Chains A and B, each alone.
Chain A
Amino acid sequence: MSAPGSTNLGSSVGYSQSPTPNGGAAPPRQNGPAQTYPSVYPPTGYYGAPPQQQSYPTTHAHSNAGPNKAPITNSAHSANYYQNNHHHHPHQHHQHQPHLPQHHVTPSPYSAPPSSAPPSQPYATLPSSAPPPPSNAQYNPQQPVQQQQHPPYATPGSYYGQQHSYHAPAAQRPQQQKHPSLVPVPAGGPGAPLHPIVSYPSALGSSQYGTLSSLQSAPAHGVMPTQVGAPLHQYNAPQPAGPTTTPVQAGGYGVGPSGQMAPTVNGQGSTGQTTVHQHYDQSHQALQSYNSYHGGVTHPHRAGGADADRPPSRTPSTSVHSSPGHHQGMQYGYVANSGASSASATTSGPAAANPSSSSSEDGDDDDEEEEEDEDEEAGGDTSSSTTGSASPVPNSYDSLEGGNYPDSLPPSDDMTNQAQPYGSYGYPASMQPAYPQGPTSHTDSSPAHDPYGPPPSYQQFSQPFPNMSQLSAALGGLSGVPELEVEALRPVNLLQERNLLPPRPLEAPEPNLSPDLKKVNCSPQTFRCTLTSIPQTQALLNKARLPLGLLLHPFRDLQQLPVITSNTIVRCRSCRTYINPFVTFLDQRRWKCNLCYRVNDVPDEFMYNPVTRSYGEPHKRPEVQNATVEFIASSDYMLRPPQPSVYLFVLDVSHNAVEAGYLKYFCESLLDNLDKLPGDTRTRVGFLTFDSTIHFYNLQEGLSQPQMLVVSDIDDVFIPSHDSLMVNLKESAELVKDLLTSLPAMFSQTRETHSALGPALQAAFKLMSPTGGRVTVFQTQLPTLGAGMLKSREDPNQRSSTKGVQHLGPATDFYKKLALDCSGQQIGVDLFLLSSQYADLASLACMSKYSAGSIFYYPSFHHTHNPTQLEKFQKDLERYLTRKIGFEAVMRIRCTKGLSIHTFHGNFFVRSTDLLSLANVNPDSAFAVQMSIEDSLADSSLACFQAALLYTSNKGKRRIRVHTLCLPVVNQLSDVYAGADVQAITCLLANMAIDRSITSGLSDARDALVNAVVDLVSSYKSNVSNLQQSGLVVPASMRLFPLYILALLKQKALRTGTSTRLDERVFAMCEFKTQPLQQLMQMVHPDLYRLDNMSDQGALHLNDTVVPQPHLLHLAADRLSRDGAFLMDCGNVFYLWIGKCCNDMFIRDVLGCPDYASVPPNMSHIPELETLLSERVRAFLDWLQDNRAFSSTIHVVKDDASAQATFFQHLVEDRSESASSYSEFLQNVQLQK
């Protein structure tokens, strides 16, 4: 798909013409979409019959045939069978011709599923018992609902148009139904219902628009009563609401007004769910919509209109508007895709020619979008994107601004006339105008359901600085030193103070902000900065010798999240920052961006506050009251209709896999959680197994049992059938269950030891690329066949080498390329590696790293020999299958002018300077970025960071989650130290060390970590502490830093000298990159508690349980005592260490064993006993696990057991065979400084 040579030439010409636009600041952003966007919503009915014929002139005649077409001959069938993802290129036929005999004559490959088919039938046949009429009956009622729900599918189509594969299903069906028994099926339905996948309703002939609009109201009220805010709850509940019935889901997500219903539901106490949502809904259209919001009454017209997600035909700005005429032209362009430049020329043409329709869409289009757009198009016609974009830019920019902010001045005027006075940002002066209105408006009404009271930003800037302390706080500690800071700066001599740990786990330091800003600031669990006081200049930062960076956990499960539905999402016009609590309202009509300091207009709609139902209080809007908000995005934020949830499971079924026995547990788990898979009625699933060949499963509804299709040509993988491999979960549920029940037995006798993972992944990519979605790969050994095969690189003798470790990087770029392809098609690849042997995770991990997937690794997994791994696998799998998921996501991190992000850590692809492309986003992965200070921040007292995550929810809604963090800027080194966040710094350094160890070796990375401590100590000594103390002195805020660094050096990822398997090391590295801070810190420096003498002193009382709060202990063996019981919390695992002389009462009451000797060696659960102590212990354990995504396993470790080694390796302060103890480490640091 990469651009051919000729495109390059073209592009170079384009570039040489366009150097001037480069200089402009804003245009680049606008560029991408201007020319590409139209192509995104091009053709009228992709599924409609007439357009189809037009748009695929190259396909075979029978491809165009509707499902009702006459039966097709056998020869045609075979031709089509081999048609793969692309067009029917003649040569493709040739390529596949050789396999013909194999597939058609030899029955064996196809008859694998037990009792599947008569051997003479190459395809395992459709049984005559399949009842076509019922299936139709099922479809018919659903059809309208679907159409109403997802009009985008009916309209734009280009989404699938890109693929060229979707017409194939229609064509293929008749062929597959060559069986006499099936002939009635096509006859029965009116075309569309036949289509197996409801989510792509083949639009009924020509009248899809008609269908759409006419259906709009009907399904809406049919569904309304049942929806009950389901979407909202499902979004954020820890687990998707499983038991909701189909109609509920269908209604909830399909129907626009759901948002409006929500508040009412919330008011009623949210029906037992813990999640509480404030749902602010606002519509530009009429005030009555506000009434409806509060009254819970839904006006019919809003069903279609309010939710921009579903472009109704009546809203002018949505995709439906686009005139079919030029879209068809574009579709031709698509079909002729091979000629990339010609296609794109066509594409860009309409954009320029038709600015009123398409570019106004681009207008408020998000830049994230544009990038996405660009990337998707990039495959074929990258060069033209630049060429074409140059001219339309200015137009679209203007027009879009005009469209977006109807009453605003032209941007240029704004910039020159208004921005300048405030450019200096002397805000006391510029604030003055705001005064007259300010105080009155913010004091009078303090809404009851406004959690944060007065509007912080407004207040801060508009109040006349009542007293000195508030001023100093607001200015971020420029003057005056609060008490907290004094404590944080207290010099600590590490050689003397031994009890450094706080009694309770360390909390994130609070930024030194005014109380109002503190109140609205983003939660440290979501957004954390290594320095909570940002140094003013890079020089100051260098002096501090601490890394500056952010740690984000943007998609984490939230208990409370304001969801905002609004026609216009208010954003800064120049930097596209979303309005947030830290902006300044200059007066009622203007706000000043806190990132680029541009003055923007407040749109009319924003003047109305849905919370207080009052007009003229823009500063009280939920967007301005919460640092974390979620917007329901309009169609402007879509490049294509939101995709359905699509899950493909790629399962290793080689001998090794069967031996390990994971398949049975996977199938069980999936069967249990099938209903809980996040998704709606459009959800699709597919399965693919592989050993040395690739097996597809036809699960099309109507079959009596799943058919297996075997493709043994792994050098040139093709998809044997297009429509029936990824099936709608609702419709084919029975078949899916069938398959899952029979799958484990199917391969139990296999002798095949090879693994063709690469080709299987290629097949998965082809299968998924029309839609995007999630691919889950289960692999149990080194891939040995086909593309992407790997060789063992690990030398077991080098496992404990103290010198560098080799092969931390990938051996081939196959997986990286594949991941980037996947990322481009919005496919996320998650890897479960269950291998007992070396499987080269360093190479395999690339498939997940760059497609924003997650990686799970179970070393030495065996279903009987390793029950703990099995238990962990099952628990992880359950969480994995049921956790929230966001599709086709992009995240952009913006920061205050002067700061710039230069390095990213985590699983994603950095598509452009600050844009992360995340094919899938899951609530368990975190990201980190490093920043530098490019310009002095002297003219502002606050630095802000905003992460905006645009994603498609599993209900097919486009949503934007915005987090904003605000931190003070300081110019004193002592303030920088006072605000240092030692945990965040440790995590960021860990990420940096991982990078370093891959690029320049492990020992280099370890040295760098030690140097970080040495640097800190020497810098602090020379710059801040004026005490002439000997020894190691660090500020109190950083007193744990050396300890954490030592702990890092003893982690699997970075340790040397201790025998560590390469895969385990690489996996630990991957975890460092993706784990959220809390988990990571728990892994690096576990919490140790003594349990046998817990008291209720200081215990928490939650509901009716008492949760004791034992003190943290240092991780040293001398803190343990023989007569105690200690709990070590390592994040994903608990160790309960029982001393030899532990009192019997504890053992009896908590473990249920009479004495120490009778405690079984591999105990891995705490029995539920009725004793007080047991209750306390279990309450404490539950409390510790409360907010964890993956439930932790517990191991009871006896003093004498050999399992002790795993426990003792976590005692990081002790000397181990190859690493120094804490005091030795400190001495070493002192020597070096």
Chain B
Amino acid sequence: MEAAVFILSLVDCCALIFLSVYFIITLSDLECDYINARACCSKLNKWVIPEMIGQCLSTMLMLVSMHWFIFLLNLPVSAWNIYRHVKVPMGNMGVFDPTEIHNRGQLKSHMKEAMIKLGYHLLCFFIYLYSMILALIND
């Protein structure tokens, strides 16, 4: 049971890592003028909700399986994802808005955020991996 929870989290985490990498690549493409803001934002906005769901999923899994430490580790990130999504002004086209992404250093802050998330997910990945192995051995 426990192993199954961690395997699931591991898969989820992998997906989130890929997503973070995708965010970083797309944003850096925008930075280098490979793609335009419109294309970049429509690509990224599509993945904001899946990312949120993926993050909430692992949080929920940890809550249900009562791994409190990992749950608390996950909680702020989930909260941030949800907050970010809810706080989008009505007139904006999503978390990433093509008309604003080049203003006020938004691009940089998005980039920074994606980097931090990547680091965080990598950390989680190893925690899950360790826990999974532990759980498998215990079984």
Contacts and interface: CB of A to CB of B under 8 A. Distances in A.
28 contacts: A3-B42, A3-B43, A11-B43, A12-B22, A12-B25, A15-B29, A16-B25, A28-B32, A31-B34, A32-B33, A371-B33, A374-B36, A383-B43, A385-B34, A385-B35, A809-B90, A810-B90, A816-B91, A816-B93, A820-B99, A824-B38, A849-B99, A902-B104, A903-B103, A910-B37, A912-B102, A913-B107, A915-B33
A1054 B47 CA distance: 37
Interface of B: 22, 25-26, 28-39, 42-43, 46, 89-93, 98-99, 101-105, 107
A910 B102 contact: yes
A904 B103 contact: yes
Given A810-B90, A811-B91, A909 B98 contact: yes
Contacts, number: 111
Given A378-B39, A816-B93, A909 B32 contact: no
A855 interface: no
Most chain A CB neighbours (cut-off 10 Å) among B33, B90, B93:
B33
Most chain A CB neighbours (cut-off 10 Å) among B25, B35, B105:
B35
Contacts of B43: 3, 8, 11, 382-383
B102 A913 contact: yes
Contact of A389 (B34, B42, B93, B99): B34
Contacts of B38: 375, 378, 820, 824, 909, 911
Nearest to B108: A902
Given A19-B25, A374-B36, A378-B38, A843 B103 contact: no
A850 B99 contact: yes
A378 B34 CA distance: 11
A817 B36 CA distance: 15
A1124 to B, nearest CB: 47
A386 interface: yes
A915 B99 CA distance: 12
Interface of A: 2-3, 5, 8, 11-12, 15-16, 19, 22, 28-29, 31-32, 371, 374-375, 378, 382-383, 385-386, 389, 809-813, 816-817, 820, 824, 842-843, 846, 849-850, 902-904, 909-913, 915, 995, 999
Given A15-B25, A903-B104, A912 B91 contact: no
B34 A28 contact: yes
A29 B32 CA distance: 8
Nearest to A7: B43
Nearest to A912: B33
A909 B39 CA distance: 13
The 4 tightest CB contacts between A and B, nearest first, are A810-B91, A382-B39, A910-B102, A15-B25
A912 B42 contact: no
Contacts of B35: 374, 378, 382, 385-386
Most chain A CB neighbours (cut-off 10 Å) among B26, B91, B104:
B91
Contacts of A378: 35-36, 38-39
B92 A813 contact: yes
A29 B33 contact: yes
B33 A812 contact: no
A915 B98 CA distance: 13
A2 B89 contact: no
A183 to B, nearest CB: 47
A902 B32 CA distance: 15
Contacts of A912: 30, 33, 36-37, 102
A11 B43 CA distance: 10
Nearest to A849: B99
A2 B25 contact: no
Given A2-B42, A3-B42, A911 B36 contact: yes
B90 A904 contact: no
Contacts of B104: 902-903, 995
Contact of A909 (B29, B42, B99): B99
A374 B30 CA distance: 12
A907 to B, nearest CB: 11
Contact of B102 (A371, A846, A850, A904): A904
A32 B39 CA distance: 13
Nearest to B30: A912
A911 B91 contact: no
Contact of B93 (A12, A28, A813): A813
A816 B34 contact: no
A809 B107 CA distance: 21
A75 B98 CA distance: 45
A813 B42 contact: no
A809 B91 contact: yes
A151 to B, nearest CB: 30
